[in-house]
Amino acid sequence: MIPVCQPAKETITGPCASWFSTRTQLALAACACGGAATFLYLVDPNRHAVYPTCLLYQTTGIYCAGCGATRAVHALLHGRIIEALHDNALFVLALPFLLRMAWMYLPAAWRANAWPDLPTDHRKWVRRGVGIVLLMLGFMALRNLPGWPFDWLKPLVT
């Protein structure tokens, strides 16, 4: 009797499981983020037109919740925290939470060479998503109001 060879079971899951391991995905993402940060550090968004303009602002003159985030990252990379807060306070204040989330999942993914399972409590995800959308809409509304305290929320344009 001839033994039948069975294919090895895949231990990596996800859309790119057959192409890249989780560690390779993380390394590529780190290289992409490092390259983008280096480019953003060297090329000032206030002086160069290589960065895209916000489509909402370009067509309506209304600042969206993300307007000024590129300039804020540039200012943060140069250590200018007050300027970064002026460009996009919501993004700068959300950045520590985003970095904490990354710090929670990425080392575990690297050690296991597999992406960890996310909690599947759909109600919690919906509540958080709705809360984030409402926060962004509120910030967007406040930064477009005229007057002294709200003018500080508008991005610096030089």
The pLDDT tens digits of the residues spanning 19-78 come to: 788 899 999 999 999 999 999 999 999 888 888 888 999 999 899 999 999 999 999 999
Phi-psi region of 67 (alpha: psi -120 to 50; beta: other; left: phi over 0): beta
Q: How far is CA 53 from the centre of its chain?
A: 17
Q: Which band of pLDDT confidence, cut at 50, 70 and 90, is reported for residue 3? A: very low
pLDDT value, residue 7: 41
pLDDT value, residue 11: 53
* pTM over cut 0.85: no
